[in-house]
Each structure stands twice: as structure tokens, then as C-alpha cells.
Amino acid sequence: MRVGLLSFSDGRERVHRDLIPEIKKAQDVIIDFLKRQKGIEVVAGSSIVYTPDLARREARRLVAQNIDALVFNIPVFAFPNFALIAARICNISPLIYSLPNPRLPGLGGMLAAGGGLREAGINCEKLWGDLGDPLIQKKFMAYLRAQTAARKLQGQVYGLIGGRSIGMVTGTIDPSQWMEIFGVDVEHVDQLEIIRLAEKIPEVEVNEGFKWLNSHVGKIEYAGALSEESLKYQLRCYLAIQEIVKQHQLDFLGVKCHYELSEYYVTQCLSCAICSDPYDWRGPKPPQVFACEADSDGALTMQILKLLSGKPTAFLDLRHYDEANGLYVLCNCGALATWFAAQAEDPNENLKRVTLCPIIPKYAGKGAHVRFLCSSGEVTFARLMRSSGRYQMVIFKGEFVEVPLARLQETCPQWPHAYAKINIGPQELFDIYDSNHCHAVYGDYLEEIVKFCKILNIDVQLIERRR
């Protein structure tokens, strides 16, 4: 993450000269804090801004440095119009930070600058507080992650492979609306491309993946629809999808699967799992968001969660509510990253908990489902939804808990499962939640998601009520 930092001052040169030591001191506090954070590069302004010309020059300098996020340091009553000029040129919603100092009117400077930006239609975050306070640190970093995610999403390309799956209108989208709101392009690719390219994959590449699976997956239940031949064909499909990603320079994707592929060829469960993982048999790789059933809003939700967290993200169905134990049962015929099985850096620790089993008879095709139980941990759920064409993000916290594997027999034992505690009763949740699919990431990212939505002017429904 490249963080741009600009410091602002009084527009009178005489007053500005007297304020330089205090402004630099406050700037050093910010730089010192940011340099202690993992993965951050600070790009500080070359001059303190105290004229319109400096606001223009320094902002253009940061733009040329390709920054991901922007911080305005305002520890004094800086002239607010300078911040407005710089923010407009940078075209990034800035974090306006003011270090508490009762001897200086920094609080007033922050409020005046923030008010000016918002009056001009520029989103911003105002933060006043000691950067030694963990709560202030959390808010500071949450906004930078939100800024960066919004910035990185701009210009990304989503690969829609296939089209609407099994009549799910909540998975379809308007590409023009996506470009307008999120800056994301949609590239439509026919599912036939997976089949065509699968036949061209060299046998040696398929065999490498096949050997890796047989050596590291906990169990492979060869029977019925799952044979060595069908498993190899699923690997061919995964490699074909990687070729499609390369050809079209896709950043994330959704695949229809049902029913052309799942009925007449193989399901894409294995492709989904390996794409979503931070590894395959060739070594570490970035997790790649893959939405089953071509659920485009689901894919975009997961891509946002990935950009905010840097972690694999989950694609699941709300399947059942276990009243006796207060657990939501989540599973989907497709797959999610095997990383969810143990959250381990070592792929072997995750894969040894995975079973590949024959696809259920509901699908007439061949291949494997990817069965495992999500490991325990705090999770954040999110889902982009639309009402009368307007987007909102529904967000709530939960916890994945581990249960005996025998419990999978109660639903569909061939599929990956998560069991979740969520602090809202089922009738309340089901009334609010307008999708069968749900998405999650390990950790607490409520604040980041809320700030991301604020930056893009997306409505938020944050569910915090308890049963």
C-alpha cells in the first residue's frame, strides 16, 4: 500500500513560517506510525502546502507516484480551500487527521477542511486523536484499507463465464451500473471456452496436479461419478480457466456451471477451490475470487472483502438454522478455498482435512465435490444486494465453530460446510437478507467495509442486534 501524505498550513506566509515546526512534528508522528505498519510505503509531500499553487503541485506529484491512499495532516487551522484543491486533483477520498494539541486550532482546521470537501461532494474521513491510542490506530488503518480497496477496484475486470444460473436473478447485474459505481468492467466469456481449452492442456501439467492432489488431500473417494479420469478432467478445467484469466486479464470471476457443465461434463467445484486458495501444486499464488453459479454480486462482494483483508473469501449458502444449538448451517454445492479448513500457511495442513467425493446424483455429470469443515474463528459476513436498482451492503459479525464431521450427514455430506453463531435470530435475518448466498472473511472487518461503502456512496445495513 502506497500512502500519500500532505501537510497543510495557514495561507499567510508570515504565520506559516511560525507554524512549520509544529506541522513537521505532527507529520513525523504520522510517518513514524505508518512505517511501523506492515506493507506500507509512505510518499510524503516535498513541501507543506500553504498556497493554491503548492496544493496543485504537491497533489500532482502524489498522483504521479501512483498512491493507493491519501492522508491530510492538519494540526493547525490550515486554509480549507487548499485541501479541497488537492483532494480534487488526487481524486482519492482523503483521511484528514489532526493531532490533539490545545495550543493550536487543529481540530477547527480538520472540521473546516472536512466540511469543505463534503460540501463539494468529496467523501472524506475526519479523525482527531492520539496515534498512540489503539482505537485511533484501528480507525486510521481501517480507512486506509478502505481507500486502497476502492482505489484498486477501479479498472478491474470481472470475468462472467456463462450467464444466469438456475434462474437466480440475484446473481445477475447491469455492467454499466458496475462501471458507474465500482469502476469495474465485465467481460463475458462463454462456458464453451472452458471445454475447448481443457482439451488443449498438456498431459504433463494435468498429471502434476493429479499427483499433488493424491499426495496431499486427506482422502479421495473414487466411486461412481468420481474416477481418476473425471478428476483429471476437472484439473483440465481449472487450467483452462487460468488460461481464460490470462487471455482476458481477469481480476476475479464467476462461472455458471449449472447445468451445461454439471449436467454434461464435470462440475467446477475443484476449479473454484483451487482458484480461491493461496496455493496450488506449483506453489504460493494470490487467492483468486471465484463465484459459483455466476453470482456476480457475490463475486464482487468477495473481491471487496479480499481487497480489504488480503485473505481468501467464502462463498456459501444459508442452508438451515439449528435451533437447539443456535447455529446457522452454511453449505453450497460449489466450493471455497481449502484454506478455510485450517487457515494454515502450509497447504498440507489444510488439504489433509479435505475429502474429494463423488458429485451428488442431482447432477448428471462427473467429478468431485470438495468436502471439509471450516475451521473455527471470528468472521465478518457481507453481501451486496439491490432494491429497485440501488445497492446496499448488508454486514454482520459471526463466528465459525467446529462440530463433529458426522453432522454433515444432516444436510449434504459431500459439500463444504460452515457452522456459524450469529447474533441475530433467523426470522429477523431472513427478513433482511435478500440472497441465498452469503460471503465471509476471517477477522473483524466491519469498520473497513462500512468506510469502503461510504467512499463509494453505497448504503449500509449493519446488523448488530442480538437475539
Segment-wise mean pLDDT, segments of 10 residues, the chain, 467 residues: 98 98 98 96 98 98 97 98 98 97 97 98 96 97 98 98 95 97 98 98 98 98 98 98 98 97 97 98 98 97 98 97 97 92 98 98 97 98 96 97 96 97 94 95 98 97 74
Exposed/middle/buried for residue 200 (C-beta within 10 Å: 0-12, 13-18, 19+): exposed
| Amino acid at site 58 | E
* Contact of 62 with 42, CB cutoff 8 Å: no
Alpha carbon distance 424, 355 (integer Å): 32
Alpha carbon distance 297, 387 (integer Å): 13
Nearest to 314 by CA among 327, 329, 332, 326: 332
Alpha carbon distance 74, 106 (integer Å): 6
Question: How many secondary structure helices (H) and strands (E) does the chain include?
Answer: 15, 21
What is the Cα gyration radius of the chain? 25
Confidence (pLDDT) at 466: 54
Confidence (pLDDT) at 267: 97
Alpha carbon distance 19, 245 (integer Å): 53
* Contact of 304 with 316, CB cutoff 8 Å: no
Domain 157-463 fold is L-fucose Isomerase; Chain A, domain 3 (3.20.14)
Alpha carbon distance 21, 79 (integer Å): 18
Alpha carbon distance 467, 445 (integer Å): 22
| Amino acid at site 253 | L
* Contact of 290 with 267, CB cutoff 8 Å: no
The domain segmentation of the chain, as residue ranges, is 2-153, 157-463
Alpha carbon distance 458, 390 (integer Å): 8
Residue appearing with cell numbers 487527521? 97
Confidence (pLDDT) at 464: 79
Q: What is the CATH number of domain 2-153?
A: 3.40.50.10940
Paired residues of 369 in beta bridges: 357
- pTM for the model stands at 0.96
Confidence (pLDDT) at 333: 86
* Contact of 340 with 372, CB cutoff 8 Å: yes
* Contact of 17 with 9, CB cutoff 8 Å: no
